[in-house]
Amino acid sequence: MQREQNRLEKALIVRTPLEVEQSIKQMIASLNEEIARLQGQRDDHIDRHPQLKQDIKLLRTIPGIGMQTAVRICALYRSRNFTSAAQMAAFVGLVPKMHESGQQRGRVMLSKKGSAVLRAALYLPAVVSKKYNPDIAAQYARLLQRQKTPMQALGAAMRKLVHICFGVLKHQTVYQSRQLEISATGA
């Protein structure tokens, strides 16, 4: 979709034949219709399965998790028999891995052994969560204070988001921020 919009923008800037512009606009309209049709099918499927609908509703209580991310996380959670949040995070490739060889100590990086598509799907929710989710915001600030790079802190936020999603789905409870609980008790 974005590629077609970029083509249209370029066609409008450069002198392009009217037929080409119309063709690109038709392609964009067709893609929008197909996206709407597929989203309708997705929503119908969710409506026909009460447990799936409940899982998505619970996931959407987590600040930073929208419909598309909730659907992807739910599909991942239901497609595998994860016994722990760490196992789910490892499957996605959000676990730290030490890169070293012989005497040389390397840097700690994400393993990236899992699904790149799922990691990419968690990137923007993590960016949003560091602002609106108190648990992730506190962790992000703590890691920055420990001289971690913003990207390392964001990777940790993505991992924490997976852990939170796992907990919400496993226990079938609405998300409650631990930071708000701590501040309410005064501890």
pLDDT in tens, 32-88: 999 999 999 999 999 999 999 999 999 999 999 999 999 999 999 988 889 999 999
Q: Say if residue 116 is in the same domain as residue 175.
A: yes
Q: Are residues 40 and 61 in the same domain?
A: no
Q: How far is CA 94 from the centre of its chain?
A: 12
Backbone φ and ψ of 136, nearest 5°: -75, -35
* Token code pair at residue 104: 């040389």
Pair 109, 43 in one domain = no
70 and 59: one domain? yes
Are both 146 and 61 inside the same structural domain? yes
Same domain, 83 and 155: yes
Residue 166 has pLDDT above 60, yes or no: yes
Question: 81 is in which domain, residue-wise?
Answer: 50-185
Read off the pTM: 0.80
- Whether residues 58 and 130 fall in one domain: yes
Residue 114 belongs to what H/E stretch?
none
For residue 78, the one-letter residue type is: R
**In terms of domains, do 98 and 31 share one?**
no
Tokens of 3: 């590629």
Same domain, 146 and 70: yes
Tally of domains in the chain: 2
Integer Cα distance of 184 and 75 in angstroms? 34
